[in-house]
């Protein structure tokens, strides 16, 4: 309860600051839109040369991409920790966090809210509806519920992986260039994982389970019955990775060396 | 000149100091190459050739363009933005060197480091893992060497330009990000320019981006004929020269603004 | 009196990496690195009683900050026992920090972009302070620190002195029984310093708040603390009353003379030859300083001789400053606590 009320407290502060920098929010939104457009261009150009990607057609791939954008937007809004090392470790902001009576990770999430990223979910929904209508997908009563569950699961997968990456800073002198590179890898979960070989498929399913942010849950809505098992695994993997990441974080905080020594 | 060379050396040492970055970097680049290899295999399906490139050439293209990226890639724009916002640039301007030149040298130091400790071992590993074809003609390697130096210059110039815009925009994080995704696609890193529809290709001919990744990669995979290669290198060179102008102008204006506003 | 802080054999070690020289060395560093373990805090024992104001001093890198960070639960100790407010700071962090206030002079506790009062409101919620308590307590704090007019300004627009007063107020929102201040007066001008000191004294008297203070500025400590803990290379080299320290080490006095006419140091030295006096000259304002033992008879003798020989513009008798004492202690290395 306390944590929920803290969330709203921080939220109202966040809104006040963002209103001061409206232009920034707009530019950020535009640059998000641009990168989404570019990813779509990639898919379109590729399908200019082929009709099927291991049995998946163009609209299905676009649908997966649209789905991916939604959990990704949720992730970006709440887990804006890609500069954790510079901001909190090198500059020693974590000192301040640790002298306050709220869980340290939760405080950082609250401080770094970036709710404008949620706009990406709208783009994602639009892309899904476009591709879905071309594919003639029917929407059943339970679809919206499962959609929400899958989106939360996917966002937790992302959150878990990136929190674990941030935790590296507690032990080693990693800089932030690691995180942007990881974004590249996370993109591969958007393609049907059966195009990859066993090793990469294994990595994308169990090690860096980005496939649970894109193709696995989306497969459910595309009626790919072979994949249902994976689709329904999505929330569990999400929760598992997230719990794991919090455990790792709690270990890491004990190893925190402080700044300026 | 000494001080610039010293700068390269310092950067080199800095890169060595961050070991975690180094290891994970190798891992991540390998995964990238692997993933694109399979993606392209799926795209080719059973086709022999797409746009004049065979599967093997395409695989080579992917591997080489990522390894070349390790050389030309740098975060100068983000570093500059940070230095400008924190007001450190004013101090840099007092120092007896050319700030932009110094930044370029830092980028070069990073690039040379990755070329030797990253791209070269990486390429050897990739060579054994994936079906890649290297040409052993010295002429191809010579052209490739010239071409990636020019890609480094073009990419760095674009980074400097983006960095300088921090003087005029309050927060250009969005612009920096946008520039990055645009370069990834239009430089030919993600897919060869020849795959784009004709009208898009003719537009891109008038943009500097393909000089960053497409040209060196096509030279290496022998996707270009001898004449095409020379023409492409010539085009890169022209872009290097053209880009000097906006950098010079913007930098002059920015410096003036810095003096008036006092940073 | 109950102990607020109890620390036994507290130790914190850091790994210090050393790089090999040159490019070849740097390349070898990629695979194996040299490091040695350095104790930043080396088995220290401290107890602080409720209501005490303790000055914690030491040179840069003596381990002050590291100790404070362990006492506040930021860092985990390598070994040793540590009980603050009856809790283990790191183990029960979230419950523990509810009972302390912390000010880091060089780092802001407030949110940069929002108005000061917004930060206060947020912190009030963070520390679950009731409206009544907040009104009653903070009104007083805000008035005493004179920050009323700053409340609606964003933190980034405040001057250092203004910000520091707000930081102090922010650390006191939950009226903690224990306050840690790390360099609270660094870079501040004299007036702000005085105001802050006065304020600290007041809350110490009013709420019996225990205060642990690190500072470079010894005048802070002279003004506030009866007790000092002195640290050198991670070890406590003195722990006791500031007064005792002065009595033991401040056994000298300084006589400052300014003359009407230009005088040569040699001639001044000649005048007091035979007496145990050392002379120094402050070139800037032509002040001649005699450093001698604190004996009334000797002092009058020296003054008499000098006054007889030269025309005097100004004379002052000073006790050795605390800074001088501290410098001497560091030169010698340790204090026998007696």
Residue ranges of the domains in chain B? 2-261
Q: What are the backbone angles phi and psi of residue C183, rounded to the nearest 5°?
A: 50, 60
d(CA B175, CA B187): 17
pLDDT band at C267 (very low <50, low <70, confident <90, very high): confident
pLDDT tops 80 at residue C230 = yes
Distance from CA of A238 to the nearest CA of B (A): 22
Residue A147 lies in a domain: yes
Residue A14 lies in a domain: no
pLDDT band at A261 (very low <50, low <70, confident <90, very high): very low
What is the per-residue pLDDT for B263?
43
Provide the pairing of β-strand B49-50 with C34-49. Answer: unpaired
pLDDT band at A180 (very low <50, low <70, confident <90, very high): low
Residue A134 lies in a domain: yes
Residue A218 lies in a domain: yes
Yes or no, beta carbons of B32 and A184 under 8 Å apart: yes
Question: With pLDDT > 70 as the criterion, what percentage of chain C qualifies?
Answer: 96
Residue B17 with chain C: CB contacts under 8 Å = 19, 26, 29
Yes or no, beta carbons of A98 and C107 under 8 Å apart: no
Domains, chain C: 3-247 (3.40.50.300), 251-319 (3.30.70.1570)
Mutate to test the interface with B, among C20, C23, C24, C26 (most CBs of B within 10 A): C26
* B22 close to C (CB below 8 A): yes
Tell me the H-state helices in B73-137.
76-85, 89-94, 99-114, 120-129
Residue A98 with chain C: CB contacts under 8 Å = 72-74, 93, 97
Domain count across chain A: 1
A70-114 pLDDT, tens digit per residue, is: 999 999 999 988 888 888 888 888 998 999 999 999 999 999 998
More confident residue, B134 or A123: A123
C35-49 pLDDT, tens digit per residue, is: 888 888 999 999 999
For residues C9-14, give the mean pLDDT: 91
What is the per-residue pLDDT for B75?
87
Compare CB distances from A101 to C65, C98, C118 and report the shortest one's residue.
C98
For residues C69-95, give the mean pLDDT: 92
Compare CB distances from A261 to C66, C114, C122 and report the shortest one's residue.
C66
Residue A239 lies in a domain: yes
Count of Cβ atoms closer than 10 Å to residue A45 Cβ = 17
Provide the pairing of β-strand C227-232 with C235-241. Answer: antiparallel
For residue C17, the chain A residue with the least C-alpha distance is: A173
pLDDT, averaged across chain B: 86
Query: Residues with Cβ < 8 Å from A14, sequence gap 6 or more?
Result: A113, A115
Residue A8 lies in a domain: no
C93-142 pLDDT, tens digit per residue, is: 999 999 999 998 777 888 877 889 989 999 999 999 999 999 999 999 99
CA distances from B211 to A21, C277, C329 (A): 36, 80, 67
For residues C73-83, give the mean pLDDT: 92
Q: What is the DSSP track for C285-316? A: TTEEEEEEES-HHHHHHHHHHHHHHS-EEEEE
Yes or no, beta carbons of B19 and C26 under 8 Å apart: no
For residue A92, the chain C residue with the least C-alpha distance is: C107
For residue A169, the chain B residue with the least C-alpha distance is: B20
Residue A5 lies in a domain: no
Residue A34 with chain B: CB contacts under 8 Å = 178, 181-182
d(CA A35, CA B185): 10
Distance from CA of C17 to the nearest CA of B (A): 10
pLDDT band at B35 (very low <50, low <70, confident <90, very high): confident
What is the per-residue pLDDT for B134?
83
Checking ipTM against 0.85, whether it exceeds it is no
Q: Which chains are adjacent to chain B, needing at least 3 Cβ pairs under 8 Å?
A: A, C
How many beta-carbon pairs below 8 A join chains A and C?
70
Burial B49-79 (b: 16+ CB within 10 A, else e): ebeebbbebbbbbbbbbbbbbbbbbbbbbbe
Query: Residues with Cβ < 8 Å from C178, sequence gap 6 or more?
Result: C4, C5, C84, C85, C99, C100, C101, C209, C210, C211, C212
pLDDT tops 80 at residue A7 = yes
Distance from CA of B16 to the nearest CA of C (A): 6
Yes or no, beta carbons of C75 and A258 under 8 Å apart: yes
Radius of gyration of chain C (CA): 25
- DSSP 8-state class, residue C275: S
pLDDT tops 80 at residue A176 = no
For residue A58, the chain B residue with the least C-alpha distance is: B43
A129-165 pLDDT, tens digit per residue, is: 999 999 999 889 999 999 999 999 999 999 999 999 8
What is the per-residue pLDDT for C335?
54
d(CA B38, CA A202): 14
Sheet containing C3-18, strands listed edge to edge, beginning at the edge strand earlier in sequence: C34-49, C3-18, C79-84
Residue A260 lies in a domain: no
A199-237 pLDDT, tens digit per residue, is: 889 989 999 899 999 999 999 999 999 999 999 999 999
Retrieve residue B162's tokens: 């983006």
For residues B192-215, give the mean pLDDT: 92
What is the per-residue pLDDT for C337?
46
More confident residue, C101 or C316: C101
């Amino acid at each position: 309860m306390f944590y929920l009320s803290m969330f709203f407290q921080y939220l109202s502060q966040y809104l006040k600051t963002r209103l001061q920098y409206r232009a920034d929010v707009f530019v950020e939104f535009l640059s998000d839109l641009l990168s989404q457009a570019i990813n779509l261009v990639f898919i379109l150009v590729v399908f200019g040369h082929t009709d099927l990607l291991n049995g998946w057609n163009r609209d299905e791939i676009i649908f997966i991409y649209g789905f991916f954008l939604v959990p990704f937007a949720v992730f970006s809004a709440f887990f804006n920790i890609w500069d954790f090392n510079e901001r909190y470790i090198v500059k020693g902001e974590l000192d301040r966090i640790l002298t306050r009576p709220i869980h340290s990770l939760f405080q950082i999430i609250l401080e770094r809210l970036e709710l404008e990223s949620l706009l990406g979910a709208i783009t994602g929904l639009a892309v899904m509806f476009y591709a879905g209508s071309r594919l003639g997908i029917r929407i059943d009563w339970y679809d919206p519920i499962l959609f929400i569950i899958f989106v939360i699961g996917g966002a937790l997968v992302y959150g878990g992986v990136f929190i674990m990456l941030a935790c590296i800073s507690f032990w080693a002198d990693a800089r932030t260039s690691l995180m942007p590179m990881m974004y590249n890898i996370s993109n591969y979960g958007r393609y049907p994982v059966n195009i990859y070989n066993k090793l990469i498929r294994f990595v994308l399913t169990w090690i860096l389970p980005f496939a649970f942010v894109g193709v696995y849950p989306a497969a459910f809505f595309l009626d790919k019955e072979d994949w249902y098992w994976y689709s329904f695994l999505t929330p569990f993997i999400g929760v598992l990775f997230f719990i794991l990441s919090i455990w790792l974080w709690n270990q890491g905080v004990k190893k925190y060396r402080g700044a300026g020594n | 000149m000494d001080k610039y060379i010293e700068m390269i050396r310092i950067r080199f040492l800095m890169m060595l100091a961050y070991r975690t970055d180094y290891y994970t970097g190798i891992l991540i680049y390998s995964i990238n190459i692997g993933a694109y290899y399979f993606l392209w295999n799926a795209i080719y399906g059973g086709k022999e050739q797409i746009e004049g490139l065979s599967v093997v050439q395409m695989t080579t293209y992917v591997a080489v363009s990522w390894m070349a990226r390790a050389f030309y890639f740098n975060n100068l724009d983000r570093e500059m933005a940070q230095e400008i916002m924190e007001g450190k640039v004013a101090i840099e301007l007092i120092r007896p060197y050319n700030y932009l030149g110094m930044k370029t040298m830092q980028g070069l130091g990073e690039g040379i480091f990755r070329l030797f400790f990253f791209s070269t071992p990486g390429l050897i590993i990739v060579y054994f893992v994936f079906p890649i074809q290297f040409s052993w003609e010295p002429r191809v390697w010579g052209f490739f060497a010239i071409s990636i130096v020019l890609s480094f210059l073009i990419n760095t110039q674009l980074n400097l330009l983006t960095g300088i815009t921090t003087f005029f925009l309050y927060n250009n994080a969005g612009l920096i990000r946008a520039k990055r995704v645009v370069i990834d696609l239009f430089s030919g890193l993600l897919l060869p320019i020849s795959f784009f529809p004709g009208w898009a290709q003719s537009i891109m001919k008038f943009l500097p981006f393909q000089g960053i990744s497409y040209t060196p990669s096509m030279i290496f995979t022998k996707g270009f004929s001898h004449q095409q290669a020379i023409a492409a290198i010539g085009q890169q060179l022209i872009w290097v020269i053209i880009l000097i102008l906006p950098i010079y102008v913007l930098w002059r204006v920015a410096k003036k603004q810095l003096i008036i506003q006092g940073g | 009196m109950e102990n607020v802080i109890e620390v036994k054999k507290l130790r914190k070690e850091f790994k210090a990496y050393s790089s090999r020289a040159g490019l070849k060395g740097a390349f070898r560093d990629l695979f194996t690195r040299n490091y040695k373990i350095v104790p930043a805090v080396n088995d220290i024992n401290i107890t602080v009683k409720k209501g005490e104001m303790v000055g914690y001093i030491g040179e840069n890198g003596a381990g002050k900050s590291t100790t404070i960070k362990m006492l506040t639960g930021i860092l985990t100790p390598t070994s040793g026992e540590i009980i603050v407010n009856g809790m283990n700071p790191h183990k029960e962090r979230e419950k523990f920090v509810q009972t302390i206030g912390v000010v880091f002079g060089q780092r802001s506790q407030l949110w940069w972009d929002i108005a000061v009062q917004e930060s206060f409101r947020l912190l009030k919620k963070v520390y679950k302070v009731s409206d009544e308590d907040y009104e009653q307590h903070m009104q007083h704090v805000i008035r005493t620190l004179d920050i009323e007019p700053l409340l609606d300004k964003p933190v980034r627009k405040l001057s250092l002195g203004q910000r520091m007063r707000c930081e102090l107020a922010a650390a006191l929102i939950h009226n903690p029984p224990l306050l840690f201040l790390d360099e609270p007066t660094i870079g501040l001008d004299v007036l702000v310093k005085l105001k802050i000191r006065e304020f600290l004294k007041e809350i110490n008297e009013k709420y019996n708040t225990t205060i642990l203070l690190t500072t470079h500025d010894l005048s802070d400590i002279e003004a506030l603390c009866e007790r000092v803990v002195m640290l050198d290379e991670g070890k406590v080299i003195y722990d006791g009353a500031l007064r005792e320290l002065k009595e033991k080490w401040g056994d000298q006095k300084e006589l400052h003379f300014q003359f009407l006419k230009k005088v040569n140091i040699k001639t001044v030295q000649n005048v007091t030859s035979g007496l145990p006096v050392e002379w120094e000259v402050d070139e800037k304002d032509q002040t001649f300083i005699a450093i001698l033992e604190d004996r009334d008879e000797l002092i009058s003798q020296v003054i008499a001789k000098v006054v007889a020989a030269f025309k005097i513009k100004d004379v002052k008798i000073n006790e050795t400053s605390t800074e001088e004492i501290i410098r001497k202690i560091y030169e010698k290395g340790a204090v026998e606590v007696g």
